[in-house]
Amino acid sequence: MSTSHESVFRLLSGEPLRKSLDSADPQAWVDFDLAVRSLPYVRRGALRALTGLRAHARGALSESQLAVALCHPDGRVREAALEWAPAVPALLPLVVIRSADWVAAVREEARELLADLLPGVAHQAMAPFAALVLRMARRQHGDFAQALLKQSLVEGPPEAITALLTGGDRAARRFGHRIAVERHLLAPLQLARIAASDDDVVIQGLCAEAALAAVREAAHGEVLEPLLGSRQPQVRAAGVTALRRMGRFAQAEPFLSDRAGIVRACARWVLRQNGTDPLPLYRALCADPTDEDLPPGAALGLAECGTRADAELLWPLVGHPVAAVRARAVAGLRVLDLTDAARLRPLVDDPAPAVAREVTGALIPDADKLAPQWLETRLAPERPAHTRTAAFRLLCAQGGTVELRSALMLLTDRNPKLRFRAEQAVRRWTPSPTTALGDRELATLIDRHEPALGRQAALLLRRGLGIPS
């Protein structure tokens, strides 16, 4: 039985609403509404007394009984319960739910009531209230409550919106920030700081755009500082783009080697608007392959705007002492489509997982140029996990019996991630017209790992390989 069903039973047994339901959780109200209608117990007996709700004297029902009545399967009971709801402010969330009711009479009654009660919602309760309204807005008839809430926030005191900005519900926070921007309640510097620190990408973009739209002159450069220093790529990109409008072109140069591609692209655009070609700047940055202060993004930035001739600067960086630079150099070679399997193969053993991952991606198109035996030695248990994963990916890229043999070897591996990859590889493997039949080594591996494979899977593999059962 679900938590919502348990809440219904507790309310029916007379337990107070505050103890039966988490009133601050919007989803708890939605689940409770569904639970009342879905319990056969409720349908058959527990609410029979409520079917004559209009005959009850006002106040004859407890808060708990009224909560259940507002969710009753019978629309007539729900409509009657709404007449009593104004006396119990704690049940306003159920009035919101009823404002999207599928029965028109119930819906209209709830909407009139909601319009009367909404101005009385306390500021501290606005965040969970708005979260519920926005959930209900997804329903067919849920747009009324959202429009009413927006009108109230647009015309009401700023304190109600402030409560939404720091709430825990993502949709409510976005809703609140949109209205705050629309009403110009946040200063440009405050908007910039929100954009730089918030973890929601929608709010980041909204506040960054609003902050930059509010300032037009270079004198407001303090607004740019939080944007340019943000950990979020799209926020940094917005700040870098604004440098052109403020005429501060030189400040874009350090962002040529940013870790995010979108920021690097914006920096190149800003410099070009001032007549500066970023390519010579990249070449100067990457000229010394021993420079330990080289920003990793410079290597990839060079490839993004350079030519195939710039591979001469990237290949030495493949041996750079900093792992991040090595990884970006390999990525740059991939961008230029100048990967060389023979030169990149030693990097499969690189101690840095990021480098091994990048090299694997570069080698997969040429995986058939790598000796299977050389790769299989890197599946040994004593090898680092990232090296084993890289080798297995390259063996799988070769396909055929090479892929199957390596997958069978790892079926009982102690590394759960590798074991899972191996299981998936075995399940999807199918023989091709060129598959060699009767391979004794594969027959031995299938016999050895049949407990892990399962009898049926082992039988299918033997048939596909022409091995007697």
Q: Which of 274, 290, 306 is the last residue of a domain?
A: 274
The radius of gyration computed from the CA coordinates of the chain, to the nearest angstrom, equals 32
Which pLDDT tens digit goes with each residue over 373-413? Answer: 999 999 999 999 999 999 999 999 999 889 999 999 999 89
Q: What CA–CA distance (Å, rounded) separates 425 from 399?
A: 10
pLDDT band at 55 (very low <50, low <70, confident <90, very high): very low
DSSP states of 72-112: -SSHHHHHHHHHHGGG-GGGHHHHHHHTT-SSHHHHHHHHH
What rounded mean pLDDT belongs to the chain?
89
Domain encompassing residue 444: 369-469
CB 154 within 8 A of CB 174: no
**Which residues fall within 8 angstroms of residue 153, CB to CB, at 6 or more apart?**
160, 161, 164, 176, 179
The number of distinct structural domains making up the chain is 2
Contacts 24+ apart (CB under 8 A), 68-73: 68/8, 68/11, 68/12, 68/36, 68/42, 70/94, 70/95, 70/97, 70/98, 71/32, 71/33, 71/36, 71/37, 71/97, 72/36, 72/37, 72/42, 72/47, 73/36, 73/37, 73/42, 73/43, 73/47
**Which residues fall within 8 angstroms of residue 357, CB to CB, at 6 or more apart?**
327, 386, 390
pTM, two decimals, is: 0.81
Q: What CA–CA distance (Å, rounded) separates 399 from 413?
A: 20
**Residue 183 confidence (pLDDT) above 80:** yes
The dihedral sign for the CA sequence 174, 175, 181, 184: negative
Which pLDDT tens digit goes with each residue over 415-432? Answer: 999 999 999 999 888 888
**Residue 234 confidence (pLDDT) above 90:** yes
CB 115 within 8 A of CB 152: no
**Residue 180 confidence (pLDDT) above 50:** yes
pLDDT band at 52 (very low <50, low <70, confident <90, very high): low
52-61, 163-172, 310-319: which has the highest mean pLDDT? 310-319
Which of 44-48, 286-290, 328-332, 346-350 has the least mean pLDDT? 44-48
Torsion of CA 410, 413, 419, 423, to 10 degrees: 50
What is the pLDDT at residue 50? Answer: 53
Angle at 241 between CA 237 and CA 242, to 5 degrees: 120
**Residue 39 confidence (pLDDT) above 60:** yes
With respect to residue 161, please indicate whether it lies within any of the assigned structural domains. Answer: no
Which pLDDT tens digit goes with each residue over 105-116? Answer: 999 999 999 999
pLDDT band at 218 (very low <50, low <70, confident <90, very high): very low
Which pLDDT tens digit goes with each residue over 436-452? Answer: 777 788 888 888 888 88
With respect to residue 7, please indicate whether it lies within any of the assigned structural domains. Answer: no
Which pLDDT tens digit goes with each residue over 2-13? Answer: 566 677 767 766
The pLDDT of 100-104, averaged and rounded, is 93
**Residue 41 confidence (pLDDT) above 70:** no
What is the pLDDT at residue 12? Answer: 67
Token pair 């190149």 in the structure block, residue: 268
**Which residues fall within 8 angstroms of residue 355, CB to CB, at 6 or more apart?**
323, 326, 327, 330, 347
Which pLDDT tens digit goes with each residue over 405-416? Answer: 999 999 989 999
With respect to residue 303, please indicate whether it lies within any of the assigned structural domains. Answer: no
**Residue 192 confidence (pLDDT) above 60:** yes
With respect to residue 51, please indicate whether it lies within any of the assigned structural domains. Answer: no
What is the pLDDT at residue 44? Answer: 46
Q: What CA–CA distance (Å, rounded) separates 213 from 242?
A: 10
**Which of 67, 119, 62, 117 has the alpha carbon at shortest distance from 91?**
67
Q: Which of 254, 274, 294 is the last residue of a domain?
A: 274
- Does residue 175 sit in helix, strand or coil? helix
Q: Which of 274, 296, 325 is the last residue of a domain?
A: 274
Which pLDDT tens digit goes with each residue over 247-284? Answer: 899 999 999 999 999 999 999 999 999 999 999 999 99
- CATH number of 402's domain: 1.25.10
With respect to residue 24, please indicate whether it lies within any of the assigned structural domains. Answer: no
- Does residue 248 sit in helix, strand or coil? coil
Instruction: Name the percent of the chain lying above pLDDT 90.
Output: 64
**Residue 20 confidence (pLDDT) above 80:** no
Compute CA distances 145 → 32, 98, 165, 182, 351, whole Å: 19, 10, 19, 20, 57
CB 449 within 8 A of CB 412: yes
pLDDT band at 42 (very low <50, low <70, confident <90, very high): very low
pLDDT band at 220 (very low <50, low <70, confident <90, very high): low
Token pair 């429009």 in the structure block, residue: 147
Token pair 């407990």 in the structure block, residue: 451
Angle at 418 between CA 417 and CA 419, to 5 degrees: 90
With respect to residue 80, please indicate whether it lies within any of the assigned structural domains. Answer: no
With respect to residue 421, please indicate whether it lies within any of the assigned structural domains. Answer: yes
With respect to residue 145, please indicate whether it lies within any of the assigned structural domains. Answer: no
What is the pLDDT at residue 43? Answer: 47
Q: What CA–CA distance (Å, rounded) separates 78 from 363?
A: 66
